[in-house]
Amino acid sequence: MGDFKFIKGNEAAAEAAIRAGCEGFFFYPVTPSSEIGEYMANHLHRTGGVFAQAESEIAAVNMMFGGAATGARVMTGTSGVGYSLMSECISYMAGAEVPAVIVDVMRAGPGLGSLEPTQGDYNQVTKASGHGGHIIPVYAPSNAQEIVNFVHESFGTAERFRTPVVVLYDGYTGQVMESVEFPEGRQEKKPNTWSLDDAPGRKGRVVRSGYAGGIGQHSFELYAKYDDMKEKLQRFEEYQTEDAEIILVGFGIVGRICKSVVDKARDEGLKVGLIRPIMISPFPAKAFAKYKGTKVKFLTIEMSYGQMCHDVALAVGENDNTHFFRDKCGSLPAMSEILNRLRQLKGENS
């Protein structure tokens, strides 16, 4: 039996990290993610980890880089505005192949925006975590339990692939309290051959992303890693897809809402299913491959102008069967509205 707690999503992220074996947490306050840092300030010492509040997100992520370079298990928590500032160093860490976990709790809209639920940072974290064209794994939990599971797991993923890993969710999921079960045990930590660890007598090591003499070979090594990640990290949930004529696609809390929509639609006799990407980078294209050339319709639901819908269209082959439902930014999509759109699509079918 694990340990159950009734806890906020953000605090669940912090507690899961402590239990996974997080040794250093570096942080700058930003709503709606600040509870992660507050929880760490109060609890990380329990396991001997270090907490530091930096003077900015730029400093926080570079502190994390410095800690990670020693082989310590490190993390930061932020929101889109902070993630923008961190992107420079995330690129350096991806280039230097240094593991770390970044929890990004999305804010709504560009600029200062607002705090309502949104998914506007999909492209930012999956495609644009800084310059240079790196790919980093991104988990998209849909509830507090998944925040716990994925934060815990992400430390292992980061070390296995030697890369920063993002856990992305919206402010709603971060603020709501839910009952969760914490897994037992830490993420297993294996010895490595790259970090600046304490090993008297070993040869000096260099942790760097700079390849002034020519980056060709290093690029190909990174590409091979991205291929490996694409092979091993395509994660998704399929629900009622076997006989579905219309398949909803949604990640995070939208995926959770869509699951309820599927049940409602089935009650009405609509053959509706759901594909919920659990990792949004690498995008789980293989979930969609079998539908190429079929008459199955896809309806992607996002709380943004439309970002993941392009990945869906690419995976399924864009045609008249791919549709997008743009929810107004700043509120969760209503089940009734999605159902109406499904009825419409069904009508167009017959």
Partner 1 sequence: MKAVYEKTTAFNDLVTGYCPGCGHGIVQRMIGECMDELGISDRLVAILGVGCSSPSWRFMTYDILSVPHGRPGAAASGMKKCDPNKIVYTYQGDGDSGSIGFSETVYPAVRGDNITSIIVNNTVYAMTGGQMAPTTLAGQVTTTSPKGRDVNATGQPLHLPELVASLPGSRYVARVSLHDTAHIRKAKQAIKQAFENQINGVGYSMVEVLSPCPSIWRMKPVDCMERIAREVIREFPLGTFKGA
Q: Which CB sits closer to partner 1, 213 or 347?
A: 213
Q: In the structure encoding, which two tokens stand for residue 145, read together?
A: 């339990």
Burial 129-142 (b: 16+ CB within 10 A, else e): bbeeebbbbbbbbb
298 beta partners? 247, 322
The helix (run of H) or strand (run of E) holding residue 103 is: strand 100-106
Q: Which CB sits closer to partner 1, 63 or 108?
A: 63
Q: Which CB sits closer to partner 1, 198 or 267?
A: 198
| Least Cβ distance, residue 53 to partner 1 (angstroms) | 10
Q: In the structure encoding, which two tokens stand for residue 320, read together?
A: 């008249």
Fill in the DSSP letter of residue 119: -
Q: Which CB sits closer to partner 1, 69 or 279?
A: 69
Burial 151-188 (b: 16+ CB within 10 A, else e): bbbbbbbbbbbbbbbbbbbbbbbbbeebebebeeebbe
| Least Cβ distance, residue 198 to partner 1 (angstroms) | 6
CA distance 252 to 232: 20
Q: Which CB sits closer to partner 1, 46 or 292?
A: 46
Q: Which CB sits closer to partner 1, 65 or 172?
A: 65
| Least Cβ distance, residue 237 to partner 1 (angstroms) | 36
Cα–Cα–Cα angle for 74, 75, 80, rounded to 5 degrees = 155
| Least Cβ distance, residue 93 to partner 1 (angstroms) | 9
| Least Cβ distance, residue 136 to partner 1 (angstroms) | 16
The helix (run of H) or strand (run of E) holding residue 323 is: strand 322-326
- For residue 338, the number of C-alpha atoms closer than 13 Å in the C-beta half-sphere is 33
Q: In the structure encoding, which two tokens stand for residue 138, read together?
A: 């991104």
CA distance 309 to 321: 12
Contacts of 79 (CB under 8 A, 6+ apart): 30, 31, 32, 33, 104, 105, 106, 107, 171
Which residues make up the interface to partner 1 (CB under 8 A)?
A: 23-24, 26, 50, 52, 54-56, 58-60, 62-67, 69-70, 72, 74, 88-89, 92, 96, 196, 198-201, 203-210, 212-213
The helix (run of H) or strand (run of E) holding residue 100 is: strand 100-106
| Least Cβ distance, residue 61 to partner 1 (angstroms) | 8
Q: Which CB sits closer to partner 1, 123 or 209?
A: 209
| Least Cβ distance, residue 171 to partner 1 (angstroms) | 27
204 beta partners? none
* Residue-wise DSSP of 31-77: TTTHHHHHHHHHHGGGGT-EEEE-SSHHHHHHHHHHHHHTT--EEEE
| Least Cβ distance, residue 207 to partner 1 (angstroms) | 5
CB 21 within 8 A of CB 46: no
| Least Cβ distance, residue 41 to partner 1 (angstroms) | 14
Q: Which CB sits closer to partner 1, 85 or 285?
A: 85
Q: Which CB sits closer to partner 1, 16 or 207?
A: 207
